[in-house]
Structure 1
Amino acid sequence: MSDEKNGYATLGYEQARDQLLEVVRELEAGGKSLEESLELWEKGEELARVCERHLEGARKRIDDKLASVGEADEPPSDGE
């Protein structure tokens, strides 16, 4: 099941992270059947992918901003 089909893709980073933390708590608490545990694990994997996509986007924005600041700080070349 992909995150687009289950609605996870529309979650913001904080929402996905909070839901992922809840999944981890439930798994750590135990007491679930094997099938319930597998479903929770799969949900956690999907939520982790959503979080990772948000973090990758943030990294790219930071890298892009740092690159543009670095370009502005470079002295003009000899040809200019």
Structure 2
Amino acid sequence: MTEEMKAGPDERLSYEQARAELASVVERLEAGGTSLEESLALWERGEQLAEICQRWLDGARARIDAARQRAED
């Protein structure tokens, strides 16, 4: 986890926590029945969670690439 990810409480979420919350947000949006304002708030939260997940995945990819590079050397 990078220092940037440690900045706020949302960024302290594990990948699994962020992914689970994102799935919940998507379910609520797909179900409909929310006001426009609530839908927009859910969409914005989903974007935040997707960014957190992507940072975790990018970090995992970097670790894998580094391990492969060490194995090749």
TM-score, structure 1 length as denominator?
0.81
Distance in 2, matches of 1:8 and 1:31, equals 26
Q: What residue number does 2:28 align with? A: 26
Q: Which of the residues 17, 38, 61 maps onto 1:59?
A: 61
Distance in 1, matches of 2:10 and 2:53, equals 10
Q: Any gaps of 5 or more consecutive residues in structure 2?
A: none
Q: Any gaps of 5 or more consecutive residues in structure 1?
A: 72-80
Offset of residue 8 of structure 1? 1.1
TM-score, structure 2 length as denominator?
0.89
Aligned length: 68
Q: Percent identity?
A: 53
Distance in 2, matches of 1:26 and 1:8, equals 19
Aligned amino acid, residue 52 of structure 1:
Q
Q: What residue number does 1:48 align with? A: 50
